[in-house]
Amino acid sequence: MNKITLISVIILVVALAIYTYYTVITFGPVQGYIGDEVWYPTAAYNILKLIFHVTPPMYFPYSNEQNIQTYINPEHPPLGKYFMDIFILLLGYKPLAWRIPSWIMGDLTVIVAYLLTRKLVGSDLWGNVAGLVSAALIMLSPNIWVIHGIAILDVYVGFFSLLAVYLLLSDNRLLWASIALGLAFASKESAFPLLLPFLFYVGELRKNPIQRAIYGIGIPAATYAILSVPIMIYFGGLDGWFHNSFLYMLGWDSTNGHIALSAVTQISAPWDWFLDVHPFYLGYNFYASTNPILMWLWVGTTPLAFILKDTKLITLTMSAWIMWLAFVAVYFLGNHTLFSFYVTDFAPLVNTYIAASIFKALKKADLKNVMKYGK
């Protein structure tokens, strides 16, 4: 490790320690369900109770939603709830237990953003500074901040989507990239559109169509299926799971019903996220706000990837755009009850891309000047 990298790693560790400290003191003391925590931790506990037949002590009551004591959240994949279950088993059912894995995912997202940016820009001064800027953008993102602090699924899909793209663009980690993509699928269905940019870049690495299908579709689908096996068993087999969970999930996503249409201040269409219109109120004075400056920087910097003719940058930004466009498609399919916190699903990709593309362009311009005028 060279001196520049060592200094940047020290800065990252210190910044991450501060970030974690403020996460704990901000969200740890809240002894109540924050936003959609009324659904996911309770579903996680019910998965333990009804599927794995384990009943850890409950130090906190169920939420007050209808039929909550048997609800396992079949309209979303199970991985995020499995992570919550690990800490519920260790600590019992209480807010601290179900939030810790989200805090860990938030920290890991910062680290992967740093690594991915260095991978794209380089391991020199430019790359290390770009990596730190990328990490800072993640830590300062208001949407990621609030969502990583609580126990809902979007922080998981945001992390595993970023991890999958990082491993994919590392070229020699294709198997692990495929598994990570499957983990993103198993976190939330909003990661499904990543299949398209993933297949595009796998095609750059593997010209054989069979290998492309295996790494781009087979392994991610198998990973998703394996993690869904307990839910399949609960619903009586593959057919029961397919109808009661997978198809139900697709139907749920394409129709209204996530909240009453009259709750207009809670609902925001995908284009509203570029102006922070109607940030979702989570309770306890927490709002899932977006950052219009970063959102529009993403729009403005996307052409850089094509100007630079950088396939990796193109794959990174298009991964985020594909996820956003999927929400647009869902809106036009009939689901007009979308929320601002969905931005966290692709915000790590966006923030990483912004830093990587700007510094890659600056580095290239600097090298041209050196070649033209000399050192």
Instruction: For the chain, give every domain's residue range.
Output: 3-373
pLDDT of the residue at 209: 85
HSE-CB for 15 with a 13 A CA cutoff: 20
Q: Mention every residue, 6+ apart, whose C-beta is less than 8 A from residue 21.
A: none
Q: What percent of the chain has pLDDT over 90?
A: 81
If you average pLDDT over every residue of the chain, what do you get? 93
Q: Which two tokens stand for residue 33?
A: 């369900």
* pLDDT above 60: residue 373: no
Mean pLDDT across the stretch 303-325? 96
DSSP 8-state class, residue 58: B
Query: For residue range 63-85, what is the model confidence (pLDDT) as tens digits?
Result: 999 899 999 999 999 999 999 99
- CA distances (Å), 71 to each of 50, 95, 186, 260, 368, in order? 10, 18, 18, 20, 60
- CA distances (Å), 100 to each of 34, 134, 160, 207, 230, in order? 14, 23, 17, 42, 23
pLDDT of the residue at 264: 85
Question: Residue 111 — pLDDT band, cuts 50, 70, 90?
Answer: very high
pLDDT of the residue at 370: 46
- Tell me what percent of the chain is helix, strand and coil, each rounded to the nearest 5: 75, 0, 25
- Residue 322, classed as helix, strand or coil, is helix
Question: Residue 263 — pLDDT band, cuts 50, 70, 90?
Answer: confident
Give the residue from 43, 93, 125 showing the smallest Cα distance to 362.
125
Q: Dihedral angle at the C-alpha atoms of 30, 258, 139, 98, nearest 10 degrees?
A: 40
Identify which has the larger pLDDT, 143 or 367. Answer: 143
Residue 272's Cβ-count burial label (10 Å; 0-12, 13-18, 19+) is middle
- Taking the C-alpha atoms of residue 334 and residue 254, their distance in angstroms, rounded to an integer, is 6
* pLDDT above 80: residue 366: no
Mean pLDDT across the stretch 28-33? 96
pLDDT of the residue at 371: 45
Give the residue from 52, 79, 72 showing the smallest Cα distance to 220.
79
